[in-house]
Structure 1
Amino acid sequence: MTLVVTDGCLSCVHMDCMEVCREDCFYEGEGKSVRHPDEWIDCEPECSDKAIFLDIASGLDIWLVLNAKSASAWPSVAIKRNPSADAKAFNGEANKLAKYFSPESELGA
């Protein structure tokens, strides 16, 4: 099993997860953070945006691919910073991937 970052993190990036993570398992870029699926450490998701789930939840296939591809290209993040200035406006908004990002370009399809 692994933890998967989903669209609750898009444009918010509060970084609660990074602050409590024992390893440098998170990667950041383009207004979101991700985890590489192969870098599982036995921990519970910590996310004020409820954006991180165990991969056993249904409907996470696209997010597993997006996390793996992005984590391979983005730098690791280990230090919590302030969220983006407009994070509150995006927090809790549904279906952000379809609204603000192109899955085809993100996934190289």
Structure 2
Amino acid sequence: MPVVVTDNCLRCRFTECVTVCPVACFHGDETMLYVEADECIECAACVSVCPVHAIYDVIDLPDDKKQWQAINAERAPALPVIDTKQTELPTAEARRLELGFR
């Protein structure tokens, strides 16, 4: 199953995930990243490196985050590929703490 980026990425855009992805399936806008499911090879290497636990395998998506599968499918194809580490957003550290991660 492909992976899905959820709202935990919102206002963060940590890009550790793209550094371990063997294909270019991550796309981004100014507030977060998304995965294009057709490009994802289902390795799930990105899941464990996300510092805000924003990425899930589709089969592990919590019920309250299932809508993110459709959001990723809609948004990713229209956005540029992000395949190199970038500086996180200025709001990233505050967002990480808000989500309960250190």
Please tell me the TM-score bracket, short chain as reference.
0.7 to 0.9
> For each residue in 1:46-72, what CA deviation from the matched residue of structure 2 results, as whole angstroms up to 9, or x when unmatched?
311111001012324310010011102
What is the match of residue 51 of structure 1? 54
* Alpha-carbon distance in 1 for matches of 2:39, 2:7: 20
Q: So what's the TM-score if we normalise by structure 2? A: 0.83
Deviation at 1:42, TM superposition (A): 3.1
What is the match of residue 73 of structure 1? 78
* Alpha-carbon distance in 1 for matches of 2:40, 2:13: 20
* Alpha-carbon distance in 2 for matches of 1:19, 1:40: 14
Question: Higher mean Cα deviation, 40-49 or 12-21?
Answer: 40-49
Unpaired runs of at least 5, structure 2: none
Identity %: 34
Corresponding letter in the other structure for 2:56: F
Deviation at 1:4, TM superposition (A): 0.5
* Alpha-carbon distance in 2 for matches of 1:38, 1:76: 13
What is the match of residue 35 of structure 1? 35
Unpaired runs of at least 5, structure 1: 95-109
Q: So what's the TM-score if we normalise by structure 1? A: 0.78
Deviation at 1:92, TM superposition (A): 4.6
Deviation at 1:16, TM superposition (A): 0.5
1:63 aligns with 2:68: yes
* Alpha-carbon distance in 1 for matches of 2:75, 2:42: 21
Deviation at 1:7, TM superposition (A): 1.0
Q: Runs of 4 or more off by more than 3 Å in structure 1?
A: none
Question: Kindly tell me: are residues 30 and 82 of structure 1, through their superposed partners in 2, closer, same or farther at Cα, counting changes over 3 Å?
Answer: closer
* Alpha-carbon distance in 1 for matches of 2:29, 2:53: 19
Is residue 8–residue 92 contact of structure 1 (8 Å, CA) maintained in 2? no
